[in-house]
A and B are shown apart, each in its own frame.
Chain A
Amino acid sequence: EVQLLESGGEVVQPGGSLRLSCSASGFSLSGYAMSWVRQAPGKGLEWVSSIAGRGGNINYADSVNGRFIISRDNSNNMLYLQMNSLRVEDAAVYYCARVEWLFLGWGALEIWGAGTVVTVS
């Protein structure tokens, strides 16, 4: 069964750092681009970052650019999000998601994990 499982969310003080992990199972991570999407309490979905299958193409939302770093370890089927200089407004449920494979370009977010909660306070 294809699954994504996030971990690493916890309570952190403003200005602090946190690393989120996403463990993939049931498929080879190297074959897919991956993304992080977040949802603040009671709010809608906000795309955070995406990384291509081999890691060479990375994009960030303006709100996190320069503070967050997305990375991947294909050999261990793991995706990461290093979050630095955390702000109160970064508090959210963070989801990792698999990007639909397209021959050219990026696809939709076809598989989602259950999310991990980050509290900044």
Chain B
Amino acid sequence: AIRITQSPSSLSASAGDRITITCRASQDVSTYLAWYHQKPGKAPKLLIYGASSLQSEVPARFSGTGSGTDFTLTITRLQPDDFATYYCQQYYTFPWTFGQGTKVESK
């Protein structure tokens, strides 16, 4: 199975900050990489698909880059609603695998 290493596991930030989360796949997944965020007690929500395509109605402050094995999610001008846990996921091949998550907390 493809291993996804996500970092950092947690970070503290303030509203208005720019943050970056990275995922590294143990083998090439092309651009079959998605980003989700999840708030406590809620279902995950798709933010980015195809490594860099913004899901409908997701604010433009979210962006994704990368291909192959290295990927980045960037949030510019962090908003209060963005404090959540973020996951990346590869869907290049089965079994689909997720990163372990990054918890973004308010500083």
- Chain A contact residues, CB within 8 Å of chain B: 35, 37, 44-47, 50, 59-62, 95, 100, 105-115
Contacts and interface: CB of A to CB of B under 8 A. Distances in A.
A62 to B, nearest CB: 7
B89 A45 contact: yes
A59 B92 CA distance: 13
A108 B101 contact: no
B74 interface: no
Nearest to B95: A61
A58 to B, nearest CB: 10
A47 B46 contact: no
Contacts of A100: 49
A95 B49 contact: no
B46 A108 contact: yes
Contacts, number: 59
A47 B97 contact: yes
A30 B96 CA distance: 22
B76 interface: no
Contact of A110 (B49, B94, B96): B49
| Interface of A (DSSP majority class) | strand
| Interface of B (DSSP majority class) | loop
Contacts of A46: 98
Given A45-B89, A108-B89, A95 B100 contact: no
9 contacts: A45-B36, A45-B89, A60-B95, A95-B43, A109-B91, A111-B46, A112-B44, A112-B45, A114-B43
Contacts of B1: 62
Contacts of B36: 45, 109
Given A106-B91, A107-B49, A108-B50, A45 B44 contact: yes
Interface in B25-76: 32, 34, 36, 38, 42-46, 49-50, 55
A47 B94 CA distance: 9
A44 B49 contact: no
Contacts of B34: 108-109
B64 to A, nearest CB: 11
